[in-house]
Structure formats: C-alpha cells, structure tokens
Amino acid sequence: MQRCADFHAEWMAELIRLTKSHAETPFGCIIVDRRDGTIVATGMNQSSTFRLLHAEMVALQNYSQTSRPEWRHIIVYSTAEPCAMCQSAMLWCGVRQMVYGTSIESLVRLGYKQIDIAASEVVRRSWASDTEIVERVLEADCNALFEQHQRGK
C-alpha cells in the first residue's frame, strides 16, 4: 500500500466528510489499516460527556476493542494536531504513523483552549522518536471546519 501525499489527502477528505456529517464538533479521527486501506475505527470528540474523550482517544479505544488490534499497522488521521495527551496515548499504544490537518497553532489562533506542545515534540522526546507525523494535510479544508464551528458558537 502506497503512503504518498495523495493517499493521505484521500483519507483526510473522507475524514472531513465523516466529521461534517457528525456535525457536533470539528474534531474527528479515523484509524486506517495501511495493509489493506480500510477504516478500522472512528472517533468523534465526546468531551461534553467526559473531558478526556478527545476524538483520538475515542478512536484508540474503539480500535482496542476490535478483535485483533495491530497497532503498528495503522495510520491515525485527525482533523487537528493531537494534543500532548492524545499523542502520548498513541505512543503508548504503539501507533507509528499519524496524519493531521489543522495545527495546534491554528487552533489557538481560532480561540480553542490548547496545550501548546507540538505532537512532533511529544514524539521527539519519547523512546519512539522515529514515529512519523505527517503535518497539515488538507490544512485549509480542516481550518475551514474549525473556523465555521467557532463562528457558529
């Protein structure tokens, strides 16, 4: 399975579509098995029910409950750069590749509460520093989701 920029852009476009149809918040996440290119878990932000239920945390938990999770074979896609909690959770789970759209910097600019530590910094300071973070894929489209959400508040 190729993992070029188009591959990531296609999955990000699918994630944006899913997140829009969910509509509650722009924070969405899918997990793709890179061996066969299928979605194996999804997660939408549920922090209104419990603060730790960021989209990535929900997706990781959903994937953990599948019959045979194989963390090293998955790619996590998120509409926004994972916070330090979520990026750390991915490292603890053994996720080796993550792709995001909107940066933490943009979220801060738009007025979202954020812990200003880049996902790449969390990775760099871990034991798994060869974990790949693909940044700002379809960034303008993801930014538009967050901008619309903030305008609608």
Catalog residues that contact Zn ion under the rule CB under 5 A.
54, 83, 85-86
Let me know if 87 is exposed, middle or buried by CB neighbors in 10 A (0-12, 13-18, 19+).
buried
Shortest Å distance, C-beta 118 to Zn ion: 13
Q: Which is nearer to Zn ion, 16 or 98 (CB)?
A: 98
* Cα separation, 102 vs 79, whole angstroms: 6
Exposure string over 22-46, b if 16+ CB within 10 A, otherwise e:
eeebbbbbbbbbbeeeeebbbbbbb
Shortest Å distance, C-beta 35 to Zn ion: 26
Q: Which is nearer to Zn ion, 54 or 96 (CB)?
A: 54
Q: Which is nearer to Zn ion, 3 or 136 (CB)?
A: 136
3-state secondary structure of 100: strand
Pairing of strands 74-80, 132-134: unpaired
Shortest Å distance, C-beta 124 to Zn ion: 18
Shortest Å distance, C-beta 80 to Zn ion: 8
Q: Which is nearer to Zn ion, 45 or 143 (CB)?
A: 45
